[in-house]
């Protein structure tokens, strides 16, 4: 499968779709332990990317990731804006050094997640989007090292993302607004972990279909 930015319009569309379909559920999660604006924040970024999607599809990965990062940084409010902005700008930087094959993507994604950890001063287990991103990055690296076949990698990535999202339910929030609730933050899934998982699963679905019948 050749992974080029020509796929970006389709990826942005499925992401817009999955966030819209789950807007109520995610908003309820952010209302329970945050301030309820997470979906609105994300949708500001997604709408901005929808307007740029054709332009993005003409770029190479380095330029496309950079543009996505800058757009998210300025369009998305809240903690998630700067974190997603940071993620894509780091992906762009890492994509300068490596090509986006299976091994390369695993390394590039890990660099992005590392940058988010630094930016948010957060680690695994703090009840954030990182509890989805870190296990996915770890799995991608392990899969690349063991030359796991791509269809199997994709299936497993979705499973790892869902497990990571679910794992936030019983965690104590120690970063972001949810941390203000201390023990009362337990018992609710983190909104950012949920949207991270939904977006990863939506991307996986597109790639799985692409793999089955290349356009
Ligand atoms: P805000 O918290 O500013 O209202 P959002 O509601 O858009 O911003 O995003 C909240 C999400 O951001 C949380 O659910 C969590 O997943 C993530 N988050 C918050 N702080 C951090 C952090 N320091 N590191 C990683 N992720 C974080
Ligand atoms: Mg919020």
pLDDT of residue 215: 64
Which residue segments constitute the domains of the chain, with CATH numbers given?
5-212 (1.25.40.340)
Each residue of 138-171: pLDDT tens digit?
999 999 999 999 999 999 999 999 999 999 999 9
Position in ligand 1 atom list of the atom nearest CA 122: 24
Using a 6 Å CB cutoff, which residues line ligand 1?
30, 34-35, 37-38, 41, 78-80, 83, 120, 122, 128-130, 175-177, 190-193
From ligand 2's centre to the CA of 183, what distance in Å? 18
- 131 close to 125: Cβ distance less than 8 angstroms: yes
**DSSP string across 134-151:** HHHHHHHHHHHHTT--HH
CA dihedral 39, 28, 11, 160 (to 10 degrees): 130
| pLDDT single digits (tens) 32-61 | 999 999 999 999 999 999 999 999 999 999
Atom 24, ligand 1: which residue's CA is nearest? 120
Percent of the chain with pLDDT over 90: 93
Please determine, for residue 77, whether its predicted confidence score (pLDDT) is greater than 90.
Answer: no
């Amino acid at each position: 499968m050749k992974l080029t930015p020509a796929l970006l319009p389709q990826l942005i569309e499925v992401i817009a779709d999955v966030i819209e379909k789950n807007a109520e559920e995610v908003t309820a999660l952010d209302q329970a332990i945050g301030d309820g604006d997470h979906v609105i924040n994300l949708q500001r970024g997604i709408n901005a990317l929808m307007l740029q999607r054709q332009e993005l599809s003409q770029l190479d990965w380095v330029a496309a990731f950079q543009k996505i990062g800058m757009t998210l940084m300025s369009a998305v409010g809240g903690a998630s804006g700067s974190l997603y902005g940071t993620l894509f700008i780091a992906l762009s930087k890492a994509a300068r050094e490596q090509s986006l094959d299976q091994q390369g993507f695993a390394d590039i994604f890990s660099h992005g997640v590392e940058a988010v950890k630094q930016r948010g001063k957060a680690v695994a287990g703090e009840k954030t989007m990182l509890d989805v991103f870190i296990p996915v990055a770890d799995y991608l690296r392990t899969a690349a090292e063991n030359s796991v076949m791509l269809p199997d990698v994709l299936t497993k990535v979705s499973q790892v993302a869902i497990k990571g999202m679910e794992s936030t339910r019983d965690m104590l929030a120690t970063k972001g607004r949810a941390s203000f609730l201390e023990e009362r933050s337990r018992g609710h899934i983190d909104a950012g972990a949920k949207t991270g998982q939904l977006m990863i699963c939506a991307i996986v679905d597109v790639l799985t279909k692409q793999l089955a019948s290349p356009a």
